Amino acid sequence: MHLFHVYVWPLLGILAGNSAKGSGISGTNGYVEYFPGTADSKVIITASHGGYLEPISIPDRTKGCLSGAACIWTHTCGSMNSQCTAKTLRDTKTKELATELTAALGTQTGKRPHLIVNHLNRRKLDPNRDTEEAAFNVSAAVTAYNEYHKFITDARAHITGAGLLLDIHGQSHPEKWIELGYLISKSRLNTDDLKPTLSSIRSLYNRHSTSMNFDALLRGTNSFGGLLSSHGYKVVPSPGNMSPGSGNFYSGGYTVKTYGSRYGDSIDAIQIESPYALRTSERATYVAALTAVVKDFLKLYY
């Protein structure tokens, strides 16, 4: 058994051509998983909303109760309130997108990113929320939540100096654009009220502020959005779509807030919200473009 795990399992992974899958560290019950990157990688990729597992032992996240202006997120809080409805929709194929991006970066650069995956369906656990809303005080879900975040903390500890976390999500907004979340809100983008101190790439700005202003880092030609739009994609923010205007836009959630550089440290974070087609029928082309963009971005700033 021991020999099988140490020698045969990684080998099977390599033979299957799936280098991101050879060496996963599973959390309890296999609900979350960590694929450590190569020692010199500066990139962490996370996928919280693409899981499929629906163990019946974990009741579905439905609604919490309202207490003043806040929600109590448990199954035993009393009368559920629709103002406290949990978001439970899966981000279709984001686990696959994150896994394929990790593998392509590993193959092309020799530096495989750290990958953290939640295998539970979002109805059971949402790791991109604080622990109460994420797990509804269900013990097995709380354990998976803590392990998911411990894995991110472990991955961060492997990176010395500047690093980049990409949190992979999906949305179905009618604009069909790629939304990049830096914790800069739609209204701030719309009014050009851009504050690096609020952003999840605060450290990136601090490192390069002598040569680039924050606006250019956020939505200029050499921003992540600028590089991605040069592959033919519609991206906000980017030179072609500087702000969402009246369109739909996610500016980033718990993961980029917690693990990006807004509150210090030197690991930056970007939430990538991709439209449906890019996660499904057009995923192969999209992964190739994203891989090229991440490589360019790393060369420019890390």
Nearer to ligand NAG, 103 or 138 (CB): 138
CB of 67 to ligand NAG, least distance (A): 11
Least distance between Zn ion and beta carbon 170 (Å): 6
φ/ψ of 255, rounded to 5, equals -65, -50
Q: Least distance in Å: CB of 75 to ligand NAG?
A: 9
Look at residue 137 and give the partner it binds from ligand NAG, Zn ion, none, a contact being a CB closer than 5 to 8 Å depending on partner kind: ligand NAG
Least distance between ligand NAG and beta carbon 255 (Å): 23
Q: Which is nearer to Zn ion, 90 or 295 (CB)?
A: 90
Q: How far is the CB of 77 from Zn ion (least distance, A)?
A: 25
Only one residue has tokens 């559920």, namely: 80
Residue facing ligand NAG at closest CB distance: 137
Query: For residue 182, which amino acid is it?
Result: Y
For ligand NAG, which is the closer residue by CB, 69 or 157? 69
Q: Which does 49 bind (CB under 5 to 8 A by kind): Zn ion, ligand NAG, none?
A: Zn ion
Nearer to ligand NAG, 23 or 131 (CB): 131
Identify which of residues 142 and 289 has a Cβ nearer to ligand NAG in the complex: 142
Q: Residue 127, preceding bond cis, omega within 30 degrees?
A: no
Our CB check for ligand NAG shows the closer of 74 and 280 to be 74
Quick one: what does residue 143 bind among ligand NAG, Zn ion, none, with the CB cut-off 5 to 8 Å set by partner type? none
User: Between the CA of residue 104 and those of 76, 133, 157, 194, 285, what are the distances in Å?
Assistant: 45, 34, 23, 33, 12
CB closer to ligand NAG out of 135 and 217: 135
What is the closest distance, in whole angstroms, from the C-beta atom of residue 132 to ligand NAG in the complex?
A: 8
CB of 16 to ligand NAG, least distance (A): 40
Task: Give phi and psi for 229, each to the nearest 5.
Answer: -70, -25
Binds 124, which of Zn ion, ligand NAG, none (CB < 5 to 8 A, cut-off by type)?
A: none
Nearer to ligand NAG, 71 or 120 (CB): 71
Q: Which residues bind Zn ion (CB under 5 A)?
A: 49, 91, 169
Give residues in contact with ligand NAG (CB under 6 A): 74, 76, 137, 139
Residue 169 contacts which entry, ligand NAG, Zn ion, none (Cβ below 5-8 A, type-dependent)? Zn ion
Residue 74: contacted member of ligand NAG, Zn ion, none (CB under 5 to 8 Å, by partner type): ligand NAG
Q: What secondary structure does DSSP assign to the chain, as a single string?
A: -HHIIIIIHHHHHHHTT-TTTTT-EE-GGGSEEEE---TT--EEEEE-S---B--TTSPPP-B-EEETTEEE-STTSSS--GGGBPP----TTHHHHHHHHHHHHHHHHS-PPEEEEE-B-TTT--TTS-HHHHHTT-HHHHHHHHHHHHHHHHHHHT--SSEEEEEEEE---TT--EEEESS--HHHHHTT---GGGSTTHHHHHHHTTT--HHHHHHSTTSHHHHHHTTT--EESBTTBSS-TTS------HHHHHHSSTTSSSEEEEEEEE-HHHHTTTHHHHHHHHHHHHHHHHHHH-
To the nearest whole angstrom, how small is the minimum distance from the Cβ of residue 137 to ligand NAG? 4
User: Would you state the structure tokens that stand for residue 37, as one six-digit string?
Assistant: 């990157």
